[in-house]
Structure 1
Amino acid sequence: MTKPTLIGLYRLFRFELSSTAGACALLGELLALGYLPSFRQAALGFLTIFCISATALILNDFFDIETDRINAPYRPLPSGLVSKAEALLLATVVALLGFLSGWMIGVEAFALVLVVWIAGFLYNWRLKKSGIIGNLIVGFSVGMTFVFGGIMVGNPFEKIVWFLALTTMFVDLGEEIAADALDVEGDRKTGSRSLAVRFGPERAMRIAAGIFSLVIAGSAIPFVFGWLEWLYLPPIVIFDGVIIYSARRLLNPKIPDRINDIRRIYLSGSVMIVVFIIIRLAITAR
């Protein structure tokens, strides 16, 4: 196997996205336990979600190769760095590794891993163009990473874990709808039934902004009910501020490169997850 092929296979993983998914599972473990999980729990939890997330991303490129030849010819598959057979083999090996580590955790963890993998496969294979159904599948898959963390440590019904799962699902849903609104012309050409295609990009963007508003309104819930210590309030307030700023820009069609505003929400959410992990580690170390 040549060096360019190895580089292409590495790029298919999109490590920053897969690692963020793994970090969500780790945070779910920390919040469900209230203290540090064992090394085995942390390692298996991160590895399982990393692999399942990476599999979905690899399959996304596998099924999107023809579209990417036009829209993203620099990616590993359309650029010729990796063949379809090599990408499919990589996705299979990584998925099996994720299934194995999920099975080592327990039946409940394996069952959730299987459900999330099936959802990701169906999305990439058939449901990406289905509009809101596809958007919901993506949000569900991302949100369930926190619940997996709770299952990992034997506490799947911890309220704050489910709160973060639902919050993440809604944030991701808003991002997906907003992204569709920015790419409405491309979606029309590919036959997508996105909200932007059905109702127009402006209305779709208002729906996304409404979802973001729900996220902001709900951010006070864990403090009202005492699910989180007040140390967590500053990062949540900052995240809410980023959402407000970005959503206002997304609603203005005169602003160019609004895709950066969606990326800003995603990146700030990823940073907040890391900050949450640091806070929880600091609290448990006291």
Structure 2
Amino acid sequence: MFRKVKALLILTRPPNGILMFIAVLAGVTLSNKQTITPMQIILSFITAYGLNGSIMGFNDYFDRDIDRVNAPWRPIPSGAVSCFEATFFSAILGSMGIISATLTSTSCMVVAVIAYLLALIYNMILKKMGLIGNMAVSGIVVAPFIYGAILSDGYVSTRLIFFVIPVYLSVLGREIIKGISDVKGDALRGIRSIARIRGKRFAGILGGALYVAAVSVSPFPYLLNLVSWPYIVIVSLADIGFIYSAISIIKNPSRAEALKVKKMTLLWMLIALIAFITGSIT
């Protein structure tokens, strides 16, 4: 029994669920009112963890044949969890997430349903569609921030828009660059990534250009008096990192460089998030 529970827990990818919850709280911080009640915190955790766990479970179900080769230790290919158990458990988690979002507010329910459906469609169809799939992933990533802001304000503020745009662009760039490192695996899975269809150099240029586009948006929150001065100081560090990564992948669109840039980008994103939060609360 314990092994079954442990396997189901692994299926949900706990770190991802916790990160999604943190993103919701960050969205609250980026809102204008910056208010959240203890009950809303509990409901938000159930929504974030439930929907993430559901999507991760369905993802493992759809990728079960690939995981038998690439990740045989995962719950489904290892036999720790059956396909029925995985999908049933995922459906329960998804239902819990949507119900808790509905109890929070109608607006939160709408955001949760859209993000959840987009993630399901990505797992079933969009994953193999290259750029469209990359765009879907970017939308899924920004969803918890939007959820948190709407939970607090009831609407999407100008400050949040200027946060979401660079995040969306940088995640899209990262997904395209990630395709450079996954060309062989994507070929086996039939994924039409930019790197496979247009070549690694084109993917590097496009990914780098999206990083630069994200950087070009970063001064506007400060120029429009949406955040305080610490924001521009901290975000400048992220901007330098993004520009460095863009130049690196454009000059050398190799698998090794793509892997390095993909990892570094997470650090630049974290610094940018810290910049926005600091600029919003000071």
- TM > 0.5: yes
**How many equivalent residue pairs?**
281
Instruction: After TM superposition, give the deviation of residue 271 of structure 1 in Å.
Output: 5.6
Structure 1 residue 250 displacement after superposition: 3.0
CA distance in structure 2 between the aligned counterparts of 1:117 and 1:198, rounded to whole angstroms: 28
Query: Are 1:163 and 2:162 an aligned pair?
Result: yes
| Inter-partner Cα distance in structure 2 for 1:90 and 1:267 | 33
Residue in 1 that maps onto 2:142: 143
CA contact (8 A) 2:181 2:256 kept: no
**Residue 251 of structure 2 corresponds to residue 256 of structure 1:** no
Letter in 2 for 1:234: V
Are 1:17 and 2:10 counterparts?
no
Q: Percent identity?
A: 26
- State the 1:157 CA deviation: 2.5
Displacement, 1:134? 0.9
CA RMSD of aligned residues (A): 2.2
Could you tell me whether the CA contact under 8 Å between 2:229 and 2:279 is conserved in 1? no
Once the two structures are superposed, residues 191-247 of structure 1 have per-residue CA deviations (whole angstroms, 9 ceiling, x without a partner) of: 222211211122112111110110111111101111111122333222223323333
| Inter-CA distance 86–125: structure 2 relative to 1 (3 Å threshold) | same
Look up the SS of the partner of 2:30 in the other structure. Answer: helix
Q: CA–CA distance in 2 between the matches of 1:274 and 1:73?
A: 37
Aligned to 1:178: 177
Deviation at 1:280, TM superposition (A): 5.0
**Corresponding residue for residue 266 of structure 2:** 266
CA change 1:239–1:9 in 2 (3 A) is: farther
Give the aligned residue type for 2:248.
R
CA gap of 1:148–1:255, structure 2 versus 1, over 3 A, is closer
Structure 1 position 231 matched with structure 2 position 230:
yes
Deviations 1:40-91 (A, max 9, x none): 2333234323322232222212111111222222322223332222221221
Amino acid at match of 2:169: F
- Contact 1:48 / 1:98 at 8 angstroms: preserved in 2? yes
| Amino acid aligned to 1:185 | K
Relative distance call for 1:66 and 1:150 in structure 2 (3 A) is same
Q: Distance in 2 between matches of 1:241 and 1:70?
A: 39
Are residues 118 and 213 of structure 1, via their aligned partners in 2, closer, same or farther at CA, if it must alter by over 3 Å? same
How far apart in 2 are the matches of 1:116 and 1:163?
20
Give 1:22 shift. 1.7
Identify unmatched segments of 5+ residues in structure 2: none
What amino acid maps onto 1:166 in structure 2? Answer: I
Q: Is the 8 A contact 1:170 1:215 kept in 2?
A: yes
Does the 8 Å contact 2:180/2:258 carry over to 1?
A: no
Structure 1 residues not aligned, in runs of 5+: none
TM-score by length of 2: 0.90
Counterpart position of 2:111: 112
Summarize the Cα distance change of 1:154–1:74 in structure 2 as closer, same or farther, 3 Å threshold: same
**For 1:16-51, what per-residue CA distance to the aligned partner results, in whole angstroms no more than 9, with x for missing partners?**
222222222212112213444222233323432332
Greater shift, 252-261 or 194-203, is seen at: 252-261
Report the Cα distance in structure 1 between the residues aligned to 2:10 and 2:267, rounded to whole angstroms.
Answer: 19
Flag as ranges the 4+ runs of structure 1 deviating above 4 A.
Answer: 274-281
Conserved? CA contact 1:26–1:149, under 8 Å: yes
SS in 2 for 1:79: coil
